[in-house]
């Protein structure tokens, strides 16, 4: 990343970062909201989690709707290896932390998988390096593993969101199909290599005779 791009990102970050007064007012409102709704029956950890989730949601809303942050967050052209990709990842990492229920986590993982697939499609169009595409595909598999783990939790709690469960099922079935396709391609490649080796050995045997 060039010095000029780093400087522009630093300027953008300063412009979109909430000031101290905004943060103080936000904490005050969150304290009042927690006290009004829950009194003192909730533990310190739960209170802190609520504050963090609300503050993070506000921050994401500000960054993801402003200038460079909005472009990095929403564009499929911001892919692995591009200067703004770390910004996109940081926003997604923060967004993941505020998903407090299994249902919310599942929807978020589905969204991340769709985003990574859009990035792979974009990278294939621009003929980016194969190792970059492989790295994104590895991320898709990781998110699918996360989705499968959350699906187990939803099954255990007997979640009533049938539409969400159907989406998860379709995605996980697609994962199995994709992995079977990969295995089939690898087996075909091995067969082709085996045939080439056998042909070469036969040729050498004929020449020696």
Instruction: Render the chain in DSSP notation, one character per residue.
Output: --HHHHHHHHHHHHHHS--HHHHHHHHHHHHHHHHHHHTT-S-HHHHHHHHHHHHHHHHHHHHTTSHHHHHHHH-TTS-TTSTTHHHHHHHHHHHHHT--SHHHHHHHHHHHHHHHHHHHHHHHHTT--HHHHHHHHHHHHHHHHHHHHHHHHHHHTT---HHHHHHHHHHHHHHHHHHHHHHHHHHHHHHHHHHHHHHHHHHHHHHH-
pTM: 0.59
* Residue 70, pLDDT score: 75
* Residue 113, pLDDT score: 93
The 10s digit of each residue's pLDDT in 102-132 is 898 999 999 999 999 999 888 888 766 677 8
Range name among 72-76, 116-120, 201-205 with the lowest pLDDT average: 201-205
The 10s digit of each residue's pLDDT in 142-181 is 899 999 999 889 888 887 788 888 898 988 888 888 777 7
On average, the pLDDT of the chain sits at 75
């Amino acid at each position: 990343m060039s010095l000029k791009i780093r400087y522009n990102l630093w300027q953008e970050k300063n412009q979109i970062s909430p000031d101290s007064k905004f943060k103080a007012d936000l904490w005050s409102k969150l304290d009042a909201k927690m006290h009004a709704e829950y009194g003192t029956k909730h533990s310190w950890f739960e209170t802190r989690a609520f504050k963090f989730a609300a503050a993070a949601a506000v921050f994401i809303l500000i960054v993801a709707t402003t200038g460079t942050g909005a472009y990095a967050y929403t564009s499929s052209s911001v892919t692995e290896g591009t200067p703004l990709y770390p910004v996109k990842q940081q926003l997604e990492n923060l967004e993941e932390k505020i998903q407090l229920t299994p249902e919310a986590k599942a929807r978020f993982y589905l969204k991340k998988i769709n985003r990574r697939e859009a990035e792979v499609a974009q990278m294939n169009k621009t003929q980016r390096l194969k190792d970059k595409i492989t790295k994104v595909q590895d991320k898709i598999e990781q998110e699918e593993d996360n989705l499968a783990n959350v699906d187990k939790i939803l099954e255990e709690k007997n979640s009533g969101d049938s539409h969400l469960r159907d989406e998860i099922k379709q995605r996980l079935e697609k994962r199995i199909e994709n992995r079977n396709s990969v295995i089939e391609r690898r087996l075909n490649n091995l067969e082709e290599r085996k045939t080439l080796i056998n042909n070469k050995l036969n040729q050498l045997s004929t020449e020696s005779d």
